Amino acid sequence: MDIIEISKVLSNKTRLKILYWLKSPEDHFPFQHIKGNFEDGVCVQYIGEKSGLSLSTISHYLSIMQRAGLVIQSRFGKYTYYRRNEERIAEYADYLKANL
């Protein structure tokens, strides 16, 4: 469990918001083409639009979030979906509680 890597991810307002939005995508992302449910998460475009930052920035954010283990990426055709990695997120909080 890399506290430094995860803390860096959490040191940014937009990344925290992304994590929050992905808790309940139905409430935060109005519609999505193709896959009607949110099982696999939300695609990069939508997250980008909602964030107000450029897609390249958001793509980069999501990749460091995934490297840190906080989200899970899955690609379907030309779309990339991201969803929370609930296990890891809970694990991190537990780890801090026990070791910080």
Among 1, 3, 57, 76, binds a second copy (CB under 8 A): 3
d(CA 73, CA 10): 18
Tokens 């909080």, residue located: 93
7 binds a second copy (CB under 8 A): yes
Does residue 85 contact residue 52 with C-beta atoms inside 8 Å?
A: no
Residues between 79 and 98 with contacts to a second copy, criterion CB under 8 A: 89-90, 92-94, 96-97
Closer Cβ to DNA, 60 or 94, answer by number: 60
Which pair of tokens denotes residue 56? 């390249």
Other residues' Cβ atoms within 10 Å of the Cβ of residue 12: 13
Tell me the window of 18-26, 47-55, 83-91, 92-100 that interacts with DNA (CB under 7 A).
47-55
Work out how close the CB of 19 gets to DNA at its nearest, in angstroms, rounded to a whole number. 14
